[in-house]
Amino acid sequence: MHWLGPTDANSAGFVHGGVVMKLCDSAAGLSGVRHSGGRVVTAGMDRMTFNEPIEIGELLTLRAAVNAVWRTSMEVGVRVEAERPASGEVRHTNTAYLTMVAVTADGRPREVPGLVCESDDEHRRQEAAQTRRRNRLAERDEILGGRR
């Protein structure tokens, strides 16, 4: 949970998008550390949605989960909810997908443990993560192919 104060504001008086991105990055990092049992780095942020503005004074709750794992990388999904403390009203404000890579002490990629998916939701998230990875790799190949 994170309370948003005046130093988190943008020039329009709402919470700066970069503040939410940083919190998502931290939540994803912790999730990656828990799953891999060691240090991780952020390799990329695939997607970040901003569904509606967040006001100063709101309370953010971030939930991060490892959606899928490959050899040394993991996709972590982060769901952000904002609460207006006075009314208790909660809104889903952001979703982010980040790729975290497990690394050794000297920064080299290391293998991560497999992921056990049990619920229907976990299987659905894993399949969606596979689709995003396929798309990311296909996009990279297409762009690199165009340069040759």
In the complex, the residues that contact ligand COA under the rule CB under 6 A are 41-44, 70-73, 99, 101, 103, 107, 109
Distances from the Cα of 142 to the Cαs of 11, 45, 102, 139, in angstroms? 38, 19, 27, 5
Task: Tell me the closest approach of the beta carbon of residue 138 to ligand COA, in angstroms.
Answer: 13
Task: Tell me the closest approach of the beta carbon of residue 36 to ligand COA, in angstroms.
Answer: 11
Residues contacting residue 103 through CB under 8 Å, at least 6 positions apart:
38, 39, 40, 41, 72, 109, 110
Give whichever of 54 and 64 is closer to ligand COA, judged by the CB atom: 64
Give whichever of 43 and 117 is closer to ligand COA, judged by the CB atom: 43
Is there a contact between 113 and 36 (Cβ–Cβ < 8 Å)?
yes
Is there a contact between 60 and 2 (Cβ–Cβ < 8 Å)?
yes
Give whichever of 29 and 58 is closer to ligand COA, judged by the CB atom: 29
Task: Tell me the closest approach of the beta carbon of residue 99 to ligand COA, in angstroms.
Answer: 4
In terms of residues, how long is the chain? 148
Give whichever of 9 and 115 is closer to ligand COA, judged by the CB atom: 115
